[in-house]
Structure 1
Amino acid sequence: MPTELDLAMEEELAKLTAEGTMFEVVDGDVRGTSMPVFKNAPDSMRGFYDLFFAAQAEKEFTVYEEERRTFGDIYAEAKQIAAMLQHEYGIAKGDRVAIAMRNYPEWISAYVGAMYLGAVVVPINAWWTTEELEYGLQHSGTSLVIADEERLRRIRKIENFPVDVVTVRTSAQISEELGARRLQDALAASPDDIWYLPPLTREDDATIMYTSGSTGHPKGAVSTHGGLLHGAMNYLASGLAMLALAEKEGTELPEQQVMLLNVPLFHITGSVPVMLVSIAIGRKLVIMYKWDPTEALKLIERERATYFVGVPTMSLELMQHPDRDKYDTSTLMDIAAGGAPRPAEHVKRLKETFEARPAIGYGLTETNGVGAGNLRDNYVAKPSSTGRASKPMVELGIQDDDGNLLPQGERGEVCIRSAANCRGYWRNPQATAESFSPDGWFHTGDIGYLDEDEYLYIVDRKKDIIIRGGENIAAQEVEAAIYAHPAVAETSVFGLPDDRMGEIVGAVIYLKPGEQVERESLLGFLADDLANFKIPERIWMVKEPLPKLGSAKIDKVSLREKYREEHIGRHQG
């Protein structure tokens, strides 16, 4: 049976989405499939920005160290960036503009400004190596990069890279040495007016976000303006329903919501449910350049933060912090997580440690972060579940290998259908056909089931992906890097459970007869080709060839089971 909270949420959402309301839901055509859409959504993200930035203009939007900017400040800078892109670099509708930087206020204004002009924004993973950056920038066909100093240094290691780079938070001397132009200089040289704004529709491309697949290079998930609009507005509708319930319960609400921003803006969680929803509701973002639990506690107290979201690692470190009680965290209303499962035992502990209500979400880059959510007492009651489908847009289905929907309780591939889904993968029709069905379903690669209350449980992964602290890692990519070592004969890479990171990378390696390799030497070798978060944290060097299947392939399933048990036993012993 649905809980009281489920029924109350459905009642509030029904009011919000009724005929004649801003969030009225009707059946619409999305790439040839009929599904729920918001009738009154703006025609493009430009309309979204015009509507909500104007409404929130006077409120404080970003806090970064001692810098404070209003929504009006950020929007004015975004429009200046749009003009600069047009006048100084000739960026036009459909051109790709990459953002390669850690979290700064300029990340937001660059994203909004480029999209406002009609460019396709390519958020680049700031942890990527030079080789990964080279692939993403070249594969996307990027016309210009807006980067911080560290990313600029990595980009300049790419041989024969012809694309212009505009840099932020970089000195004039370093910018000149590395052949880049500072943002403030480019803005100063450009007129402030945009001489031509091309028409935009919901069908136009808006972003390309790269996500690690199970094989080969990362894939670029392409979202349209309509996908972003429906993703952001679906989150907004759910948030407004929860707000209505809080008012009914007599909860005293703050004048302005304040979020501690510690997830990367280049992740889908950071860009859609955090950044875009914050623009819509006038929520302040207190930006952390880098995660640090002590600094997080200081900022929660200083800025009176009401909302916290991050990978489960982060809330665990807050709970375990030895000085936690020295800081006032009483303003926190919700502590949410995504990107990785939170151990069930942490959920109740989280509610007992803080006055805030725990929550977790399940969504993917390809769904613009929209999927399922488990909130408050429902989460405490079912801590192993990622929750119910995120209404009003999302339909969850469990499918077998032939694409048939399975009944409740049966395990199969988790599939998501909504108007927020991406349209496919950039320049990769084969991967698009494999993951996006003609009738609108995105095949997640996760194995799960729906219980009698329609709560989703993820039990395994169909694709060979490791999720470490919210970062997708392709096991095959790590294996390829290990095989590049001349002493390695065989290897198998898989995820190992970890309370802090969700999963870590494990590897079993069999060396060629007569070869010897020290662990530190191997790690140093891998660091040349892999970003730090992809390097195995546990390595087993074995003396016998790895077990094989009848097909002569390495038996990864048995290896994973054996070494996961050993890994868990070591941590429990």
Structure 2
Amino acid sequence: MPREDAVTTPDLPWIKSYPPGIPWNAKIDMLPVHHLLDDAAARAPDRHAIEFQGKAYTYAQLHECVQRFAAGLQSLGVGPGIKVGLYLPNSPHYAIAFFAVLKAGGTVVNYSPLDAGAVLAHKIADSETDIIVTLDLESLYPLMNKLLGSTRLKTLVVGNMGEVSGAPDKVQAELRSQGQLCDVAWDAQRIAFASLLDNDGLCAPVAPIDLHDTIAVLQYTGGTTGLPKGAMLSHGNLSAGCSQAVQNLSGGTGLQDGRETFLAVLPLFHIYALTFNLLLGVRLAATLVLHARFDPAAAIRDLAEKRVTVFFGVPTMFTAINMFPGVEGNDFSSLKLSNSGGAPLPVEVHERYEALTGCKLQEGWGMTEICGVGTNTPMQRRHKIGSCGVPLPGITIRFISVDDPGKPVAYGRQGEICIAGPNVMTGYWKKPEATAEAMTPDGFLRTGDVGYMDDDGFMWIVDRIKDMILCSGYNVYPRNIEEAIYKHPSVAEVLVVGVPDAYRGEAPKAFITLKQGAPSFTLDELKGFLKDSLGKHEMVQALEFRVSLPKTAVGKLSRKELQDEEKRRVASSA
């Protein structure tokens, strides 16, 4: 944890950009995470908490399901120190299981349905997970069932989509006809989700929760350098992050308690969605219109018809909405907040979305290790397009030299972003050396992101340190090149990676998808287009068109896969 005096520096350039009534040093509420649901159910028992495939759960109903599932988990031995994995798509199962694990005294471990078998096995062993909640889907069950016999995993709790929908039999029949269902051989190791709800909901008391040290969630990082590491997010970390988000987004024309409707299409197993859709939504007693996956047509329909007020997404989602045929004919007037995170948002996408919807599109920055909470623009302030906003209440940001981490960098100059605040993780699970390497001597977390802060305290991300390309001795940031390429009228999406170059050491290569019906172009034509935007050392030296670009589980473009492809290509040619 950062030292207490690490977050009390009075000379903070972003203070001037805070609106009246939102002090940077406001009290940050910290509480056991499951109390967020307890409080919402007490305040708004009859309000819809979740709407999913024709079925609605009120806050009272969701709370009762959580109570019952927690009691069911306790019958399986769940309590303090016990890890329960959630291997689920977006469905009510996730919300029920998440809060129930915490109420039972256990720790949630999130598992991505996109993970390979080896990564899942690593997480099971590393986190010491003995119970996993999943569904009977062909995309989930077979792989996890295999791990039931080859890892320490002891129990699978298996649900189905029908039981949380408005038409259970119809939904299950459709999934079976499409070949998406698996038959489950029920036994002592394979237990039905519904069976854990079949009780009176009387949970046994659990040990008192230490807000700073009791781990609520083990959230594994993306594993861009080796196997994923588990970030230990305490109850205090997560509830603080939620409190910081509420203070940033509420007040005046901001979000109001009991009056918002969220479109929740980001995957809840990802920290961005966990904090800003599930936890923030429940904290505000909002209605979560939950989608199992992002489909542009379905998202656009619900944005308009369900009068959604809040939409958190990633750049690829806003790009897809912008480009969807006939999108202009929809009424988006109910939207009061749209927010993009997870990756930098191209300026062209930003401007098109705001013109299309009439809703201000904000940008934020966060990461797993800080509960997804770092910077954003207060709703009452003008957003600077391309910036990721100002630090949220209680957060301090500093910069250090990329080349000499022991050397501080002044605000206004580029450096590695370092952050301190009550939302910063307690450390990496079972990795004290990695934890120590990630922290500065005065208790700030080194993020690995390169950026700078302007005179108004707005932060601008340049790139990831590990994504930098070293061209003829110069540090070249792919993000700068991508922004320039996005201005080309034919470009839909682009990623730039470094490839070996005999003369320069490394050179930028652009991977591009084209807009529907847009004309292609040559490398020389692209260079001509970019000549006024990029320096000679930054100029693209290779070009490849793709039908689609790789994406992460949350839907943001994934540079790592292309980097790995290029490494394999070079190794093969050698």
Per the shorter chain, which TM-score range?
Answer: 0.7 to 0.9
Contact 1:223 1:422 (C-alpha < 8 Å) held by counterparts: yes
Look up the match of 2:71. 83
Say whether the 8 Å CA contact 1:214–1:463 is kept in structure 2. no
Counterpart among 45, 48, 61 of residue 60 in structure 1: 48
User: 1:154: which partner in 2?
Assistant: 143
Q: Distance in 2 between matches of 1:374 and 1:167?
A: 41
Q: What SS does structure 1 have at the residue aligned with 2:372? A: coil
Who is 1:414 aligned against? 417
Which residue in 2 is equivalent to 1:196? 205
C-alpha contact 1:508 1:539 (8 A) present in aligned 2: no
Higher mean C-alpha displacement, 253-262 vs 268-277: 253-262
Offset of 1:361 from its aligned partner?
Answer: 0.6
Cα 1:132–1:507 change in 2 (3 A) is: farther
Q: 1:505 to 1:282 in 2, by over 3 A?
A: farther
Bigger shift: 111-120 or 437-446? 437-446
Question: What letter corresponds to residue 216 of structure 1 in structure 2?
Answer: G
1:34: which partner in 2? none
Q: What residue is the counterpart of 1:518 in the other structure?
A: none
Shift of 1:375: 5.8
CA distance in 1, matches of 2:468, 2:204: 46
Alpha-carbon distance in structure 2 between the residues aligned to 1:45 and 1:387: 26
CA distance in 2, matches of 1:285, 1:336: 16
Number of the residue aligned with 1:225: 235
Structure 2 residue aligned with 1:259: 262
Structure 1 pair 504/78, CA: closer, same or farther in 2 (3 Å)?
Answer: farther
**1:138 aligns to 2:129 (yes or no):** no
Q: Does 1:361 align with 2:364?
A: yes
State the shift of 1:429 in Å: 1.3
Tell me if 1:114 matches 2:101. yes
CA contact (8 A) 1:505 1:535 kept: no
8 Å contact from structure 2 (residues 248, 379) kept in 1: no
Task: Go from structure 1 to structure 2 and tell me whether the alpha carbon gap of 1:254 and 1:160 turns closer, same or farther (over 3 Å shift).
Answer: closer
For the pair 1:182 / 2:192, whether they are aligned, the reply is yes
Confirm or deny: 8 A CA contact 2:321 2:327 kept in the other structure.
yes
Residue number in structure 2 paired with 1:94: 81
Question: Does the CA-based 8 Å contact 1:508-1:541 persist in structure 2?
Answer: no
Contact residue 259 and residue 305 of structure 1 kept, 8 A:
yes
Q: C-alpha separation between the residues in 2 aligned to 1:144 and 1:293?
A: 34
Q: Deviations over 1:163-212 (max 9, x none)?
A: 20101117797222796211002332x45211222211202111100112
Please report how far the alpha carbon of residue 6 of structure 1 lies from its aligned counterpart in structure 2 after TM superposition: 7.8
Secondary structure, in 3 states, of the residue corresponding to 2:78?
coil
User: Shift in Å at residue 394 of structure 1?
Assistant: 0.8
Q: Name the structure 2 match of 1:342.
A: 345
* CA deviations over 1:132-178 (Å, ceiling 9, x no partner): 11111111001210112332221123352342010111779722279
Report what 1:388 is aligned to. Answer: 390
Distance 1:58 1:155, change over 3 A: same
Question: Counterparts of 1:378 and 1:295 in 2: how far apart (Å)?
Answer: 31
Structure 2, gaps ≥5 residues long: 1-13, 162-171, 173-180, 470-477, 487-491, 503-549
Taking structure 1 as reference, are residues 503 and 264 closer, same or farther at Cα in structure 2, changes over 3 Å only? farther
Q: Size of the alignment, in residue pairs?
A: 466
Q: Which amino acid aligns with 2:308?
A: A
Q: In the alignment, what sits opposite 1:13?
A: 22
* Matched AA of 1:210: Y
Q: Is the 8 A contact 1:144 1:165 kept in 2?
A: yes
- Matches of 1:147 and 1:233, distance apart in 2: 30
Tell me by how many angstroms 1:227 deviates: 0.5
Which residue in 1 is equivalent to 2:515? Answer: none
The one-letter amino acid of 1:263's match is L
In structure 2, the partner of 1:45 is 33
RMSD: 3.4
In structure 2, the residue corresponding to 1:199 is in which secondary structure?
Answer: coil
Distance 1:509 1:450, change over 3 A: closer
* Matched residue SS, 2:19: helix
- Alpha carbons 1:44, 1:229 under 8 Å: kept: yes
Q: Tell me the SS of whatever aligns to 2:113.
A: coil
Label 1:109 to 1:76 Cα distance change in 2 as closer, same or farther (>3 A).
Answer: same
Q: Structure 1 pair 363/544, CA: closer, same or farther in 2 (3 Å)?
A: closer
1:88-127 Cα distance to aligned partner (Å, 9 max, x none): x111112111101100011011111101122111111121
Residue 457 of structure 1: how far off its partner (Å): 1.3
C-alpha distance in 2, partners of 1:541/1:131? 21
Please state how far the C-alpha of 1:239 moved relative to its aligned partner. 1.9
Question: What TM-score does the superposition give when structure 2 sets the normalisation length?
Answer: 0.74
Alpha-carbon contact 1:278-1:284 (below 8 Å) kept:
yes
Partners in 2 of 1:430 and 1:213 — Cα distance?
16
Superposition deviation, residue 440 in structure 1 = 2.8
Q: CA deviation at 1:379?
A: 6.2
1:326 aligns with 2:329: yes
What residue identity is the alignment partner of 2:397? Answer: L
**Superposed displacement of residue 378, structure 1:** 6.0
- Cα offset, 1:407, TM superposition: 1.0
C-alpha displacement of 1:237? 1.2
How far, CA to CA, are the matches of 1:451 and 1:8 in structure 2?
11
TM-score normalised by the chain length of structure 1: 0.74
Q: What's the offset of the Cα at 1:459? A: 1.2
Give the Cα separation in 2 of the matches to 1:502 and 1:140: 36
Distance in 1 (CA, whole Å) between partners of 2:249 and 2:387 is 20
Aligned: 1:397 with 2:398: yes
CA distance in 2, matches of 1:60, 1:352: 31
Partner amino acid for 1:128?
Answer: D
Measured in 1, the distance between the counterparts of 2:563 and 2:224 equals 19
The corresponding residue for 2:160 is 169
- Secondary structure of the 1:449 match is strand
